[in-house]
């Protein structure tokens, strides 16, 4: 495009030269050509820098989830998104993480608010939904359908995703737990996205890492989750940068 504009300008100047005489025209064309060439060089030199700056800008991550993301019972600074951002910053990774956790949300609730919870400009999503579905005994087929729709829409938007798996309470019976537990690895494989098999790995059932309700992590529990999931989030950031550059 820049080459075309320079060529067009030179053609106009050449036409002008035919009307004013060869001496004046020659000087004018030479001066204009020099100016156009400098502008072209500067423009071409600036374009790679601008592209590199866009690629290197902080990655925008949305943590889309329920109370486990929202930070139920915790200070905002101790929520999963806040502690994760701090851990990533300590590794020199520039990210912005939005806390899109809503206590009590099911997978269907997350789907219903997807467009405004994951705004334009989002590079990556940490998807943590399903715990409330299991606690309420919602049909695993319904949970799968909602999560599938979320993943499909995020793929259409070229947003990198990390799926956080969940396990159903074992008192719901073998048939239910098998159907529910399989949702997360199967959908992650179907959409070729990253999977962290169990969001509460190393924290669930440990009274020292949970609040009094036994279900929500304490600040110490959040730190355990962050330390365990961190390598997967680093992979997510790398994928997001790759998508941004492509």
Instruction: Based on the residue annotation, tell me whether 123 is a catalytic residue of this protein.
Output: no
Q: What is the C-alpha radius of gyration for the chain, rounded to an integer number of angstroms?
A: 27
**Could you tell me whether strands 194-196 and 160-164 are parallel, antiparallel, or unpaired per DSSP bridges?**
parallel
Give the separation between CA 10 and CA 116, rounded to whole angstroms: 49
Task: Kindly name the residue from 67, 79, 117, 218 that is annotated as catalytic.
Answer: 67
Instruction: Based on the residue annotation, tell me whether 103 is a catalytic residue of this protein.
Output: no
Instruction: Based on the residue annotation, tell me whether 60 is a catalytic residue of this protein.
Output: no
In 3D space, the residue among 76, 142, 80, 141 whose CA is nearest the CA of residue 109 turns out to be: 142
Task: Kindly name the residue from 105, 117, 216, 218 that is annotated as catalytic.
Answer: 216
Give the separation between CA 45 and CA 36, rounded to whole angstroms: 14
Cβ contacts of 186 within 8 Å, gap of 6 or more: none
Active site residues: 67, 213, 216
């Amino acid at each position: 495009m820049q080459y075309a504009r320079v060529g067009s300008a030179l053609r106009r100047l050449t036409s002008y030269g035919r009307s004013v005489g060869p001496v004046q025209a020659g000087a004018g064309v030479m001066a204009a050509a020099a100016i156009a060439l400098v502008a072209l060089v500067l423009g071409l030199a600036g374009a790679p820098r601008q592209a590199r700056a866009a690629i290197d800008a902080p990655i925008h991550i949305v943590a889309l989830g329920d109370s486990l993301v929202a930070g139920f019972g915790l200070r905002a600074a101790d929520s999963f998104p806040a502690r994760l951002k701090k851990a990533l910053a300590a590794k020199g990774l520039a990210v912005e993480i939005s806390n899109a956790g809503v206590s009590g949300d099911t997978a269907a609730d997350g789907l219903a608010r997807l467009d405004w919870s994951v705004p334009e400009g989002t590079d990556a999503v940490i998807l943590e939904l399903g715990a409330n579905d299991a606690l309420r005994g919602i049909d695993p087929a319904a949970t799968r359908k909602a999560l599938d729709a979320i993943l499909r829409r995020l793929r259409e938007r070229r947003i990198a995703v990390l799926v956080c798996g969940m396990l159903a309470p074992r008192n719901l019976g073998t048939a239910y737990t098998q159907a529910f537990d399989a949702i997360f690895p199967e959908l992650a494989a179907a959409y070729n996205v990253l999977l962290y098999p169990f969001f509460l790995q190393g924290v669930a059932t440990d009274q020292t890492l949970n609040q009094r309700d036994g279900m929500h992590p304490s600040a110490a529990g959040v730190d355990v989750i962050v330390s365990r999931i961190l390598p997967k989030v680093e992979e997510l950031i790398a994928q997001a940068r790759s998508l941004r550059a492509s």
